[in-house]
Amino acid sequence: MTWDRRHLLDVDEMSVDDLSDIMRGAERMQQGLSDLGEPLEDELCDARVALLFAEPSTRTRISFEVAARNLAAETLVLEAASSSLVKGESLVDTVRNLDAIGIEMLVLRHHRAGAPWVAARYFGGAVINAGDGWHAHPTQALLDLLTLREAFGIEGGEAVEGSLRGRKVVVVGDVLHSRVARSNIWTLTAAGAELWLCGPSPLLRGFDELSRSMPADRRFTVTDDFDAALRDADAVMALRVQRERMAKGAVSFDDYVTGYQVTEARLGRARPGAWFLHPGPVNEGIEVTRGVARGPRSLVLEQVRNGVPIRMSVLARLQRPVRPVPDQASSPTRDLSSALR
């Protein structure tokens, strides 16, 4: 099923039906099936998909490329560091040029919040946000939702609405600077999870207000009390500690590790069998011990694996641009061939 929208900029613009549709699509794609239940072939037949990454990435970049190729798209990678952006060309001009070349889908990661929205104004095709500043990381939130659904044994095809009701999910760490946390707030509360955001209080600034601004049935708890957050938790998602920001003194690095590192002992205070998640990159020994990160309750690599079917499901749903068909009677090819006759 194709959506009637061109872009995927954030999950907060998606309805719960859209979320269900993405989950069902991803579950089918895990089985190598199209939305029609037929073997996957060439859903994006020769579409030109450009990946423009103006910030480092391993998981998102590679899994978007694998996802696009699995759907028979042609992928083109533009590394910002080797593009004309370093010569001072603006993002807007870069996007206009990619459009002129005939790129149909643009997967964009950018250090500036809002960059994908700017790109979408100037690009004739589909723009997919692969992470913008602290702001949003929609496909990460979607793959996290798929991973939790699978871990909790939710049947493929079940609607998202209410599917995590009764499940307590804790997101712990540098929430303030996390685009993953911001996008997960939307998807996890849409699924009805009891969501807790936890970390040192300077790294939770503004989230109480955000919770109060949400509809009553989508509010979440914000706390610096990790023990309270862990009690009865079904899943704990740690966020990357952004050393560069810790170094600026918002929170002491040592205090963070002492108070908020996810250890075996702490995970043991959650509900028996609680899952551990992390969007990556993981700093083992900092936000989590190696034992937890690589242990039997860790879903870290499952999250990475699920990145491919989720991104396939997204790419397959976005509308491709309808490019003007050249007028055959006046096309240069026609003129040239008659001149050669």
Residues interacting with ligand CP, by CB under 6 A? Answer: 57-61, 131, 140, 279-281
Q: How far apart are CA 288 and CA 277, in angstroms?
A: 10
Q: How far apart are CA 98 and CA 84, in angstroms?
A: 12
- Please state the closest distance from residue 61 (CB atom) to ligand CP, in A: 6
Q: How remote is the C-alpha of 124 from its chain's centroid?
A: 22
Q: Which is nearer to ligand CP, 230 or 315 (CB)?
A: 315
- Please state the closest distance from residue 47 (CB atom) to ligand CP, in A: 22
Q: How remote is the C-alpha of 7 from its chain's centroid?
A: 14
Q: Which is nearer to ligand CP, 310 or 318 (CB)?
A: 310
- Please state the closest distance from residue 186 (CB atom) to ligand CP, in A: 17
| Residue listed under structure tokens 């060309």 | 89
Q: How far apart are CA 244 and CA 233, in angstroms?
A: 30
Q: Which is nearer to ligand CP, 138 or 280 (CB)?
A: 280
- Please state the closest distance from residue 228 (CB atom) to ligand CP, in A: 27
Q: Does residue 71 contact residue 44 with C-beta atoms inside 8 Å?
A: yes
- Please state the closest distance from residue 248 (CB atom) to ligand CP, in A: 21
Q: Which is nearer to ligand CP, 173 or 279 (CB)?
A: 279
Q: Which is nearer to ligand CP, 145 or 230 (CB)?
A: 145
- Please state the closest distance from residue 244 (CB atom) to ligand CP, in A: 15
Q: Does residue 93 contact residue 83 with C-beta atoms inside 8 Å?
A: no
Q: How far apart are CA 185 and CA 340, in angstroms?
A: 63
Q: Which is nearer to ligand CP, 20 or 187 (CB)?
A: 187
- Please state the closest distance from residue 166 (CB atom) to ligand CP, in A: 27
Q: Which is nearer to ligand CP, 60 or 70 (CB)?
A: 60
Q: Which two tokens stand for residue 264?
A: 């075996």
Q: Which is nearer to ligand CP, 28 or 240 (CB)?
A: 240
Q: Does residue 183 contact residue 141 with C-beta atoms inside 8 Å?
A: yes
Q: How far is CA 249 from CA 13, 182, 202, 224, 255, in A?
A: 35, 23, 10, 17, 11
- Please state the closest distance from residue 57 (CB atom) to ligand CP, in A: 3
- Please state the closest distance from residue 321 (CB atom) to ligand CP, in A: 26
Q: Which amino acid is at 283?
A: N
Q: Which is nearer to ligand CP, 200 or 280 (CB)?
A: 280
